[in-house]
């Protein structure tokens, strides 16, 4: 087991409140061929967004995260069993799950160790699915300010693992039989406070405050408010999803 660098415990409550939900079409596609009694392992569950969506389809879900603070703030559900555990040592029984899901978390793992654990806990013919999203799109004026925050203001504050996510997980070791995946987009209708709350969950924002003593969101705040208009105005936020799915043989 590798040492876990926790980027989220300091703002686990905000993470639970401000992270978007995954589209129903994604969850439906992942579970369409599963038996009714299938067991799923949602690894790197965070506050449980994917785990809850899977459980709502009637499946039993093990939801693990290396951050105990995230697990403590996860939303309870009768079909979800939460456990604080790293991706490389889940504590689950061998050959006990039909599907492994990883939502927006693979880049934090020891990926080789995670792949070994997947091959241990998944039943032959089971699947593993990983996905991520990157910068959202709203409107050109807003998008330009978010890009400035991401690429310029926070440039020195993103951990190196972020490059793995920016590549859509295309370059990670993938010892599974690949499957074709649909083109999907995650969407939410948010007002300005919700968008700012989401931006504030970025680990780089917290790191920037610690490093400089300055709030990075204040550097775009006035311009963002001007670009948005009335803060209560709802705008559609879109995140393209990158996904890889494979069968464990």
pLDDT of residue 101: 98
Note the CATH number of domain 9-247. 3.40.50.150
Q: What is the mean pLDDT of residues 24-29?
A: 96
pLDDT of residue 20: 82
Residue-wise pLDDT tens digits, 69-100: 999 999 999 999 999 999 999 999 999 999 99
Whether the pLDDT of residue 1 is over 50: the answer is no
Whether the pLDDT of residue 8 is over 70: the answer is no
pLDDT of residue 9: 52
Whether the pLDDT of residue 17 is over 80: the answer is no
pLDDT of residue 134: 85
Return all residues near 12 (Cβ < 8 A) that are at least 6 apart.
Answer: 47, 67, 69, 70, 72, 73
Whether the pLDDT of residue 3 is over 80: the answer is no
Whether the pLDDT of residue 16 is over 80: the answer is no
Mean pLDDT of all residues belonging to the chain = 92
Whether the pLDDT of residue 34 is over 90: the answer is yes
Under a CB-based contact definition with an 8 Å cutoff, are residues 117 and 91 in contact? no
Whether the pLDDT of residue 199 is over 90: the answer is yes
| DSSP letters spanning 49-65 | HHHHHHHHTT-EEEEEE
Please report, for the chain, the start and end positions of each structural domain, with discontinuous segments joined by +: 9-247
Residue-wise pLDDT tens digits, 119-166: 999 999 999 999 999 899 999 999 999 999 999 999 999 999 899 999
182: left (phi over 0), alpha (psi -120 to 50) or beta: beta
């Amino acid at each position: 087991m590798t040492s876990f660098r926790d980027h989220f415990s300091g703002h686990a409550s905000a993470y639970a409140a401000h992270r978007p939900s995954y589209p129903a079409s994604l969850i439906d596609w992942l579970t369409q061929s599963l038996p009714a009694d299938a067991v799923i392992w949602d690894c790197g569950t965070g506050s449980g967004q994917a785990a809850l969506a899977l459980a709502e389809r009637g499946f039993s879900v093990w939801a693990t995260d290396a951050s105990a603070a995230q697990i403590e703030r996860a939303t309870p559900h009768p079909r979800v069993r939460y456990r604080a555990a790293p991706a490389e040592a889940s504590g689950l029984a061998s050959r006990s799950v039909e599907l492994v899901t990883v939502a927006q978390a693979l880049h934090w793992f020891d990926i080789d160790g995670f792949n070994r654990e997947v091959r241990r806990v998944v039943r032959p013919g089971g699947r593993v699915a990983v996905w991520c999203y990157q910068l959202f799109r709203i409107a050109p004026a807003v998008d330009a300010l978010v890009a400035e925050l991401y690429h310029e203001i926070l440039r020195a504050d993103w951990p190196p693992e972020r490059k793995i996510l920016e590549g859509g997980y295309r370059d990670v070791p993938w010892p599974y039989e690949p499957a074709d995946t649909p083109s999907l987009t995650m969407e939410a209708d948010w007002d300005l406070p919700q968008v700012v709350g989401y931006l504030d969950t970025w680990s780089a924002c917290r790191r920037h405050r610690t490093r400089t003593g300055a709030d990075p969101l204040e550097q775009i705040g006035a311009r963002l408010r001007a670009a948005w208009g009335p803060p209560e105005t709802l705008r559609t936020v879109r995140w393209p999803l990158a996904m890889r799915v494979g069968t464990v043989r």
